Structure 1
């Protein structure tokens, strides 16, 4: 009798173990409720969004909502406006828009300062050396991003300068997805392309430093900054980048377009 009981218990254990586990409920991005007036605000301020199809625009807005639900945005010494949040969320979505599922697991908070700031995070108008537009935090600011509101808005208002501070900093976060910001986007780039990518990067950096390139000078300071600067160019002026730097365009396309 005890032998039969043991067999029954064993069968129950096996049945429970083999039974598929329930997966948590997920809600399709397209089912997310988005404020209707966002559409016009995005059309007016975000060129990347304006170029998308209607279906893609719907998806873009849904991804913005999901980002804002997962991230705390805090204004420092000024009152946060809706457009500030819209531009931050758009900056976050643009680099990963073509990725089916992406969450910034290395970001919890975005601190937005009213103006540019220095290395000590001082932004008073009397402070010298206020030239930092944004940064990805480390140490006590781990999982934080700090942005200049002035730089954030300028990046979207100027549609011809190939630069965008918000996009720049979120590309740094993508670079950091493998644990280190080193200019090698391991989370985006297939391993077999790493060496060709680095060879191209240093070639382009040399051109920048010899004043033989239209890529922003800051991209010549390190391969880390090159990735972010070239990424800004890729999203802000893709046709121009493709015409002037076709090899670099193809490499970045392989990173950001899946």
Structure 2
């Protein structure tokens, strides 16, 4: 990634501000392949609510991290050792099944694809780490490893 641009408010596809535009955005990547464009207003809103397990800037940043290996696929290969990819895939599919069966407190959007699961689970990890650790200890351990949290060195998978 080459940079993050912060706009003061929402913007449209042409990166113009307009209160009348129905297609407002709070984040853009598209033609800015290695840049992230965020709305300052949306950033503030995302970090003001610390209990909803939802954070759009974190979500979009995780997509960029996921893309570092060349593909946005929900498998952060550069962050896991090869030995953790198969356990990650197994855990991810188990958790996605729970989401889709309404037996998980992970946001439903996480059940739509591997890509979205990684981003949604990461939002939960950064917004409510203690709750994630309590309700989804395996997922917490894997994300701790992925994001190189200090205690992740002692994973027993």
Provide the TM-score with structure 1 as the length reference: 0.52
Name 2:132's counterpart in structure 1.
241
SS of 1:214's equivalent? coil
Deviation, structure 1 residue 180: 1.9
- After TM superposition, the runs of 4+ consecutive aligned structure 1 residues lying more than 4 A away are 117-123
Asked whether the 8 Å contact 2:5–2:36 carries over to 1, the reply is yes
Aligned ranges 1:28-107 → 2 under 5 Å: 106-107=1-2
For 2:3 and 2:134, locate their aligned partners in 1 and report how far apart those are by CA, in whole Å: 37
Q: Are 1:153 and 2:44 matched, yes or no?
A: yes
Q: Which deviations, in whole Å up to 9, do the C-alpha atoms of 1:20-62 show, x marking residues without a partner?
A: xxxxxxxxxxxxxxxxxxxxxxxxxxxxxxxxxxxxxxxxxxx
Secondary structure of the corresponding residue to residue 80 of structure 2: coil
**2:18 aligned residue (116, 124, 134):** 124
User: What SS class does the counterpart of residue 145 from structure 1 fall into?
Assistant: strand
Residue 200 of structure 1: which of 80, 91, 102 is its match? Answer: 91
Normalising by structure 2, report the TM-score.
0.82
Return the index of the structure with the highest Cα Rg.
1
Unpaired segments ≥5 residues, structure 1: 1-105
Greater length-normalized contact order (CA 8 Å, ≥ 6 residues apart): 2
Aligned residue pairs, count? 149
Q: Within 5 A, what are the aligned runs for 1:218-257?
A: 218-256=109-147, 257=149
Matched, 1:141 2:32: yes
For the structure 1 residues 133 and 214, does the alpha-carbon distance in structure 2 shift closer, same or farther, using more than 3 Å as the test?
farther
CA contact (8 A) 2:51 2:128 kept: yes
